[in-house]
Structure 1
């Protein structure tokens, strides 16, 4: 009998792409994805040709907002919609990657007595997963340290589910796409899907100095392209890169980035020396700070503070990491088990009768 699996997760690409990576590896399974009506997950999932069901979803906020008064009703509506969809589909298991839309699906699954597996990318769970965990059968974690913050009997350490396509990147194709000759090391700068203004500003202030040493590909985020810099030799700026990203990452010698879990484990899988600038606590729940601290302690990266970042500090950190790049690469090569999450999660899913 064909195994039926429902996936859920959304709100950001980080809650969707690991699901898609898993789905791509599933054989002889019927897959359905439950997400929101307007979230990023809808377009990403439907582009893969996957059966997609939309439900009502409200955001769970820690701060005051007038929407807080009506969003709980959206969540309740989503629970009932998910319950009815799941009752009809009768999946063997639900796999959740988190995000607010996943909460109604997890609860709806629990109401239908369907096993619920959740994957937590960060060291500490976000608000959505903290709620969903109460209804979960198993909790898969990316960081071994996460076990200290979760119910012991449910935790399974799997590592990060990394997209296999990233491992197929071709350096020569990446250089050709960028128009680089390869005579200088390539510095890849990634500020997340929405960009990072502070990183963008400091990099561009330092640009003439950096271009003496590096060729630079700058994923600056939507709305952050500066037309006057388009003709700068050795510098390419993009709002984002999609299908060419594996080749561009293969071409990179060093990476400057935020410290979202999915991204930094991809860098780890590719053994790319990195400098991480986590989102500060004043604009986040602190997950990126903890992620970066963990990687720093393991010797995979250097970490800089967003709010106090200066051009000179960035220049020195880049020089340090590039000079010692083989030491970082050697340490990352010894930690590749942490990047085999797809294999580990599939093994757990295959245990379901």
Structure 2
């Protein structure tokens, strides 16, 4: 019998996913919730964002992710001289993204939105890479409306969002909750903040960039607030106030990373903007909320819609920014505290959806369809 030379087993190329999204933490947190699971499953993970945006800061904390920065403009809704330059930056970003993606050869692109995502989505489409978009808010943002025609699927958090999306691209997956937030320790949070056990804890979050209006309101009323609460104030980059240092029961931070799960675990009430990612995480953790959504003058009004949806479900109190006076603020906070047990009961009845598994399955499906095309 003639000798037969056995061919070495064929090496299987690992799946490769490219992420994009940025401009604010809300356009990154869904990505960072998915990335660890994909890495555990052996996927190669790359990320394209802006050269110096918050997405670079947040993604750099993850191991095993290659980050690439490109030129990007900003999709403003107000008059600014930079608006003249931004279209050229976006075009430059498209060319940069196209070349990067041509070299990286990912199986699929997952976009969370934000102004940086538009050139990346277009670059992926030009390279025939399947695109999945995720929309957190009740109505699609400007970046996702521009990128939508280039996508295979648009994943939505609110079922009602489907009526705002043309064709049959919408896939309702529900809210994405970061797993690590479910594992916080209230005792570790109290210890880290050097708080007294038993006294209620109030957490203030003005978004990743902070909210000057909310920060000012808290600090004007800090003496009265600390009589009733211990305060964790996440105020945004560059927004620390040296005059508030040393106030008993008040802790201020620009941003909280590793300790966020513990800080949330020890929290009784939350004051927050109404970005979808954050409020669904508070809902999952059963944290009654006072929501102060961005006004229509400062946004497209998506946070107002998010907050109203949660108010109708009985998960929060809502205070519009135009109503934000010290008296109304303190009154609304007191009402929230008085109703906290009933609110938490309603929150517990909210069904917890496994949105991460749904998204992972969709990503794998699109990756396989890319193989079929190639």
TM-score (norm 1): 0.94
**Structure 1 residue 132, shift from structure 2 partner:** 0.1
Question: Alignment partner for residue 8 of structure 1, among 20, 23, 33?
Answer: 20
Indicate if the aligned counterparts of 1:269 and 1:336 stay in contact, CA closer than 8 A. no
* Aligned pair partner of 1:142 in 157, 162, 178: 157
Count of residue pairs brought into register by the alignment = 352
Q: Decide whether aligned partners of structure 1 residues 201 and 75 sit closer, same or farther in structure 2, where only a CA change above 3 A counts.
A: closer
1:345 corresponds to which of 353, 359, 365 = 359
Does 1:206 find its partner at 2:218? no
Q: CA deviation at 1:14?
A: 1.3
Greater mean alpha carbon deviation, residues 292-301 or residues 86-95:
86-95
| CA distance in 1: counterparts of 2:240 and 2:277, whole angstroms | 24
Runs of 5+ in structure 2 lacking a partner? Answer: 1-11, 369-374
Structure of greater Rg = 2
Cα deviation 1:192-249 (Å, max 9, x = unaligned): 2222222222223333322232112222223433333322222222222221111011
Worse-matched range after superposition: 309-318 or 271-280: 309-318
Indicate conservation of the 8 Å contact 1:143/1:159, yes or no: yes
CA distance in 2, matches of 1:57, 1:202: 34
Write out per-residue CA displacement over residues 149-173 of structure 1, whole angstroms, 9 at most, x where no aligned residue.
1124000111122211111110000
The aligned residue for residue 87 of structure 1 is 102
Is the CA contact 2:268–2:288 (under 8 Å) kept in the aligned structure 1?
yes
Q: Which runs of structure 2 are paired with 1:31-42 in the superposition (5 Å)?
A: 31-42=45-56
In structure 2, C-alpha distance between the alignment counterparts of 1:345 and 1:136, rounded to whole Å:
15
Poorly superposed stretches of 4+, deviation over 6 Å:
none
Alignment RMSD (CA, Å): 1.7
Is it true that 1:132 corresponds to 2:147 in the alignment? Answer: yes
Shift of 1:306: 1.3
Equivalent-residue separation in structure 2 for 1:237 and 1:80 (angstroms):
42
Higher mean C-alpha deviation, range 10-19 or range 270-279: 10-19
CA distance in 2: counterparts of 1:221 and 1:244, whole angstroms: 16
Instruction: Quote the Cα distance in structure 1 between the aligned partners of 2:89 and 2:243.
Output: 45
| Corresponding position of 1:325 | 340
Residue 34 of structure 2 corresponds to residue 22 of structure 1 = yes
Asked if structure 2 preserves the Cα contact closer than 8 Å seen for 1:6 and 1:33, the reply is: yes
| Distance (whole Å) between structure 2 residues aligned to residue 119 and residue 148 of structure 1 | 15
* Contact 2:284–2:352 (8 Å) recurs in 1: no
Q: In 2, distance between residues paired with 1:65 and 1:325?
A: 43
C-alpha change, 1:275 and 1:95, in structure 2 (3 Å) is same
Question: Match of 2:251?
Answer: 236
CA distance in 2, matches of 1:303, 1:143: 19
In the other structure, the counterpart of 2:126 is: 111
Q: TM-score, normalised by structure 2?
A: 0.89
Q: Deviations over 1:96-115 (max 9, x none)?
A: 00111111111111112221
Unaligned runs of 5+ in 1: none
Cα 1:61/1:187, change in 2 over 3 Å = closer
